[in-house]
Amino acid sequence: MSLLKKVVFCWFILINGAFHSQMLIINEFSNGPSGTQEYIEFIVVDTVNTISCTPCLDIRGWIVDDNNGYHGASGVAGGCNRFSNDLFWSCIPLGTVITIYNGTDPNVDIPTIDIDINDGNCSLVIPIENNTLFETNSNTPNAVACDYPNVGWTAGGIWSRMGMRNGGDCVRLVDLSGCEVFSFCYGDVLLNSTISFPGPGTDDVFFFSGTDPFSQTDWFQGCAGDPGACAGNDQTPGVPNSSLNDSYISQFTVNNCQPISITDTNEVNLSICENQLPYSWNGLTFTTTESQTATLTSVVTGCDSLATLILTVNPTLSSTTDITICDTELPYTWNGLTFTNAGSQTSSLVSPLSGCDSLATL
C-alpha cells in the first residue's frame, strides 16, 4: 500500500465541514478486481461529538455521484443517483456502515444484501438498483460545489451514471441543500477534493483507517483482489477495514448500533416542612406535596437532561393538652413556658421524626 502526500483544501473544509455535525463520510471505495465490480462504503458519523443530541441522520435525497466536472474535466459520467425519499433513510443511527454496489456486476466480496436497520450488526448492504431505496436522474449536476437537479428523478439507481473511470475520477457526496460534503478523488481528477490519490485506480481499493476521515494521512490504497494486478485483497465491504477503523466507528454507537441515549434522566426525593412553602427548585415552584420535571442541559453531553423532584411536604404538627394543678404548684413550668395562673399557652417545638415545627398547647 502507498500513503501519499497530504492535500488540504481549507476553503472546502470551512464551507462544508463547519455546517455539518452529523453527516456521511466515505469510508472505502473499490474499483473492483474486474469489469464494473465497484462499491462505495459510507459511515454515518458526527464530526463534532461522539455523543450527539441528534443520534441519527436523515439522508433522504442525498446524492451519490462521480465527478461532475467540479474536480476536473475527465471522468464525468452522465447523470447521478441519490438515496430515495423513503422513510427508511430518515433516521440512520450514527456508526452505521452503508455499502452500495453495482448489482448488475457484483463484486465477489460483497456480503449478503442487508436492509434491516434493527438487526444490531450496524451494517446496510444494498445494490444501487433497489427501486425503493435509491433513485436516479439523467441530469448531471453542474460543475460547481453546490448544485442539485430538482426534477427528473425516477425509482432505482443506475450504476453507470456514477461509474468510475480507472485513470481518474471522484466519488462525491452531496447533501439535500445541493452542496458537496465529502469527496474522494484519484488519478488525473484531483481538484477541490477532500481526499485524493494521484495514481490511477485500476484494480485498487482505497480506505480510511485512522482517527480523522478528513486527513490524507489516515487514508490508504490497496489491492482489490485481482491477482494479476497486485498480490492480496484489501477489500472489506460492509465491515471495518482495520482495528483503527473499528475503533473510529464504534465510538458513535452503543448497544449493537442502537443510538446513544441523548437524554439524561434523574429523580430526586426531598422532604421539606410546611413553613418552607412555596419551594423553588430548578425554575419550578412547589406549593404542596407533588412531583415536577425540569428540562435542563447536561454539562457532560450538552443535550437535554430531565430532572424530576418528588417533593414531600411535612405538615406542622399540633397538639393540645389539658391539665389541672393546685395553686400551690404555681408558677408552673411546661415545655419552656411558665404559668402563674389559669390559662393557655403554645410552645413551638421541633418534631424528632420530621424535623419540622410542632405546636404544643397547654
Please tell me which residue, 177 or 362, carries the higher pLDDT value.
177
What's the mean pLDDT in 156-170?
96
pLDDT for position 263: 60
Amino acid at 209: S
Sequence length of the chain is 362
**Range picked from 145-159, 254-268, 319-333 for highest mean pLDDT:** 145-159
Q: Is 182 in contact with 24 (CB distance < 8 Å)?
A: yes
Kindly give, in sequence order, each residue whose CB lies less than 8 Å from that of residue 346, ignoring residues fewer than 6 positions away: 359, 360, 361, 362
Please tell me which residue, 143 or 304, carries the higher pLDDT value.
143
Please tell me which residue, 327 or 175, carries the higher pLDDT value.
175
pLDDT for position 291: 92
Is the predicted pLDDT of residue 52 greater than 50, yes or no? yes
Q: Is 74 in contact with 188 (CB distance < 8 Å)?
A: yes
* Average pLDDT value for the chain: 86
C-alpha cell at 40: 462505495
pLDDT band at residue 8 using 50, 70 and 90 as cut-offs: very low
Neighbours of 289 (CB within 10 A): 15
pLDDT above 70: percentage of residues in the chain: 88
pLDDT for position 348: 81
pLDDT for position 51: 55
The closest alpha carbon to 343, from 321, 360, 318, 362, belongs to 362
Angstrom distance (rounded) from CA 46 to CA 152: 31
Q: What is the dihedral of CA 342, 344, 348, 351, to 10 degrees?
A: 100
pLDDT for position 274: 86
Angstrom distance (rounded) from CA 252 to CA 272: 43
pLDDT for position 302: 62
pLDDT for position 258: 61
Angstrom distance (rounded) from CA 284 to CA 107: 61
Q: Of 23-32, 87-96, 244-253, give the lowest mean pLDDT range.
A: 244-253
Q: Establish how many alpha carbons lie within 13 A of residue 260's alpha carbon, considering only the half-sphere containing its beta carbon.
A: 20
Q: Where does residue 142 rank: exposed (0-12), middle (13-18), buried (19+ CB within 10 A)?
A: middle
In 183-313, which residue ranges form alpha helices assigned H by DSSP?
Answer: 243-250
Please tell me which residue, 106 or 20, carries the higher pLDDT value.
106
pLDDT tens profile 285-339 = 999 999 998 887 766 556 677 889 898 989 888 888 898 888 888 898 888 888 8
3-state secondary structure of 257: coil
Is the predicted pLDDT of residue 251 greater than 50, yes or no? yes
What's the mean pLDDT in 246-260?
73
Is the predicted pLDDT of residue 31 greater than 80, yes or no? yes
Is the predicted pLDDT of residue 40 greater than 70, yes or no? yes
Is the predicted pLDDT of residue 53 greater than 80, yes or no? no
pLDDT for position 15: 32
pLDDT for position 137: 97
pLDDT for position 151: 95
pLDDT band at residue 228 using 50, 70 and 90 as cut-offs: confident
Is the predicted pLDDT of residue 13 greater than 50, yes or no? no
Is the predicted pLDDT of residue 11 greater than 70, yes or no? no
pLDDT band at residue 362 using 50, 70 and 90 as cut-offs: low
